[in-house]
Structure 1
Amino acid sequence: MSTPAFDTVIAQARDLLRWRSPLRTELWAARLTAELEESGQAEPFLGRLRDDGGQEARLTLAALAAVGGADAADAARTLPGWVHRMGRVTCEGGWYGKADPYGEQVLAVLSFRYENGKEPHILVVGLGQPQGGLAVDALVEETTFLDELGLRPAEPGVVAGRVLDAFELGEQIMGAAVADTLPGVRPLATARALAVPGLVRGAPDDTVDRFEEVPDLPGAREAFDKLAEFLGDRPLWWSPARVSQFLTSWLPREAILSEAAIAAVPEVVRAWTRYCGDQPAVLRQIDEDAPRLPALMADESLAGLGKRLARRRP
């Protein structure tokens, strides 16, 4: 990091010492961590902070350590008391649900406050469903922001695990489209998720399990089992494009269904649509695609390899 850039960080740290806000300082440190990771200058920068030894440099080291960006156990020893509250938060709740009518993005939300009860805040992480459930955006807001989201409460440990799973997935996918602001929040988001007690990784979404409105029709349960298989671990994502994919592509390619189940599919997907918010555009798509389903299921040329092999088994 150049001398002017280093001096800018020191000046910012000086301002933060006056603000005396653990949250403001951690958010700043998260952005700084992202910048250092991108530039590849983390180690030289940390070394320069240690060599400097001033109060501002020690605050920077302590803040970076609070968001997982440095090893600075002794940095905060002689700093003001509020500095020691960084990272020492209590999780007070978790929420999970759709960010938009079609669930193309879902939100994982956790609420926190510091050990002295001050600066309550929420972490909101957007998980992109078409992208496989990876984290596509994140922000930290005041707790009143939660009132606008309309999410259902969820176990904080499960929500925190989903946040970490989503970040991990993003590391495995090269070139994934995410918000420009995500890298600057991610270090703090990761630190907050790791601080939640009872962390559960890889927890399945129980939306399908809570569905109790399978139509009382011959073949409906068989049809719903195939729908659940299609939905997989992203059941909140139910858009016109996805229902069309299920009816016109996935079922003909992957599913072996009885005639009764094929006949029941339209009512099953309508019931699921009502459960997912009863979006008119989704219902219109079902009306458009469902009449074609029997012919598509009968078209052997549309069957995938797995389906063809399954049909050959005695």
Structure 2
Amino acid sequence: MATPQTPYDAVLHAARDVTRLDTALDAEMLGAALLGSVYAIAETDRERAVREFVAGFLAATSRRRTAAATTIRSVFAALVPDAEGAAKVRPGTQAPAWSGQLGRVHLTGAWSYGDVYGDQTSYLATFAYDDATGGPEHALVALVDHNIGITKDVFVGGPAERILEQVRQMCATDDLTWFREEDPARMHGEVSRHLTVTDDLGDLPGEGSIATDRALVGARLAVLPGAPADTLTWDAEPLTGEERTELVRAFLASPEAVRAGLHALDGDAELASLHFCLGLLFDHAASFPDADPLRWSPAVAGLFLLDWVHRRAVLDMDDAAMLPRVLRAWTAFAGHRRGLPEQAVSRTDEAIEELVPEFARLYSTGERRSPATAAVAQLMADGVDPDDPAALDAWIEANRQRLGDDTP
């Protein structure tokens, strides 16, 4: 066969055996995988790129009459029904028996599960075709990562009953994992909202089936009830000043702070360092989509101690010594306040203890400091008062070349 001349020809060639597939589900999975290549190479707004590709494909193949061409057109129209021209697609005269079931599914159940810390939530929904000729009952699983605010992975497959049972068993044997029935409308909103962020990423998560299954996931999400308004926006706000003060007071009076000796520090320097460190914990929490200063886990502690604090803050030696101590007390306080199992609280504390040596090394080398943080650190090391404009201007002028400032 001649080399395909256009991307549309390449798709037709890849789909040449689509009519030999056994079910509509097989065909939809093939179609989603083909569109996955478009999704994967798009630089931004990947969902739009797929929609525009499907519109172009339908226009370019409108006169193709082979069974494979008319069938894959129907598959794409079912997967991306809002693409231009999709509503006008009709099955060909040689369409497989299952073609009338493309996209015709109904929801049979919805659940969610995740870790008790709140790092990740997985949503699982099962679907059945309106007619058995469409294929078997199947499951959609979507993993939402709350630490980075994206739908990190998606999967569509079956048998649905086996997947659901495997998830039930996994959660039943893990004390730090929960499982429950889910409102399908809320699932629709949460997965879609985080998928919107994923769709616009420059680089997709390295593993999983986000690209190959994305189009089919979108089609199945559209079957779910409309999403509640509170799942459609990122409306979490950091605590107000008053709320923050009340929470700090509660912490300093807590058994966790007392055990760490934070309730009775001596000297202005120690108190200043304590409150500076607490401020960093709140600022770090505000950088997450949920902005919750009480949501800590081994993973979040690692992001804070080994990355965020080095890029965003300048610590003196007292601060660097104080920070792990404050973090361990705060995460224990936060875990108990949220009602986490003691095992979960202990694991976070153990993780922080293991992270401290690497935190200390990164502090001493400064290798993860941002340029701005590195400049401020050098300013302080040189004994310059940041509140003295004349001294600050003189320091900047003396270090202009090292700072990379080409301003005359």
Q: TM-score, normalised by structure 2?
A: 0.53
Q: Which residues in structure 2 correspond to 1:142-291 (within 5 Å)?
A: 142=158, 143=160, 144-149=162-167, 150=171, 151-179=179-207, 181-200=209-228, 202-203=230-231, 219=250, 233=290, 238-243=296-301, 265=330, 268-271=333-336, 275=340, 278-279=343-344, 280-285=346-351
Q: Indicate conservation of the 8 Å contact 1:136/1:179, yes or no.
A: no
Shift of 1:182: 1.3
Shift of 1:179: 2.8
Q: Give distance in 1, aligned partners of 2:88 and 2:253.
A: 58
Q: Deviations over 1:77-110 (max 9, x none)?
A: 6434421111111112222222x67654431221
2:143 is the counterpart of 1:126? yes
Partner in structure 2 of residue 256 of structure 1 = none
Partner in structure 1 of residue 91 of structure 2 = 76
Shift of 1:128: 2.6
What one-letter code is carried by the residue in structure 2 that aligns with 1:5? A
Partner in structure 2 of residue 92 of structure 1 = 108
Moved more, 278-287 or 106-115: 278-287
What one-letter code is carried by the residue in structure 1 that aligns with 2:348? V
Q: Indicate conservation of the 8 Å contact 1:138/1:186, yes or no.
A: yes
What one-letter code is carried by the residue in structure 1 that aligns with 2:113? G
Determine which structure has more spread, i.e. the larger CA radius of gyration. 2
Q: Indicate conservation of the 8 Å contact 1:136/1:178, yes or no.
A: no
What one-letter code is carried by the residue in structure 2 that aligns with 1:284? E
Q: Give distance in 2, aligned partners of 1:187 and 1:247.
A: 38
Structure 1 residues 275 and 95: CA distance shift in structure 2, 3 A: same
Q: 3-state SS of the aligned residue for 1:268?
A: helix
Q: Deviations over 1:177-230 (max 9, x none)?
A: 34363111001101111111233355299xxxxxxxxxxxx826998xx98x76
Structure 1 residues 221 and 190: CA distance shift in structure 2, 3 A: farther
Q: 3-state SS of the aligned residue for 2:69?
A: helix
Q: Deviations over 1:99-136 (max 9, x none)?
A: x6765443122111111265111101122333x22122
What one-letter code is carried by the residue in structure 2 that aligns with 1:146? L
Q: Give distance in 1, aligned partners of 2:290 and 2:153.
A: 19
Q: Give distance in 1, aligned partners of 2:341 and 2:113.
A: 11
Of the three residues 6, 11, 25, the one matched with 2:16 is 11
Structure 1 residues 113 and 169: CA distance shift in structure 2, 3 A: same
What one-letter code is carried by the residue in structure 2 that aligns with 1:73? K
Shift of 1:161: 1.4
Partner in structure 2 of residue 27 of structure 1 = 29
Q: Give distance in 2, aligned partners of 1:45 and 1:176.
A: 24
Q: Indicate conservation of the 8 Å contact 2:70/2:92, yes or no.
A: no
Task: Give percent identity, aligned residues only.
Answer: 21
Q: Indicate conservation of the 8 Å contact 2:139/2:157, yes or no.
A: yes
What one-letter code is carried by the residue in structure 1 that aligns with 2:290? D
Q: Indicate conservation of the 8 Å contact 1:135/1:166, yes or no.
A: yes
Q: Indicate conservation of the 8 Å contact 1:135/1:178, yes or no.
A: no
Q: 3-state SS of the aligned residue for 1:95?
A: strand
Length, aligned pairs only: 267
Q: Give distance in 1, aligned partners of 2:303 and 2:55.
A: 49
Q: Give distance in 1, aligned partners of 2:189 and 2:124.
A: 11
RMSD: 4.4
Q: Give distance in 2, aligned partners of 1:161 and 1:127.
A: 12
Q: Indicate conservation of the 8 Å contact 2:54/2:76, yes or no.
A: no
What one-letter code is carried by the residue in structure 1 that aligns with 2:190? R
Q: Give distance in 2, aligned partners of 1:278 and 1:270.
A: 10
Of the three residues 53, 66, 84, the one matched with 2:78 is 66
Moved more, 167-176 or 229-238: 229-238
Q: Which residues in structure 2 correspond to 1:41-52 (within 5 Å)?
A: 45-52=57-64
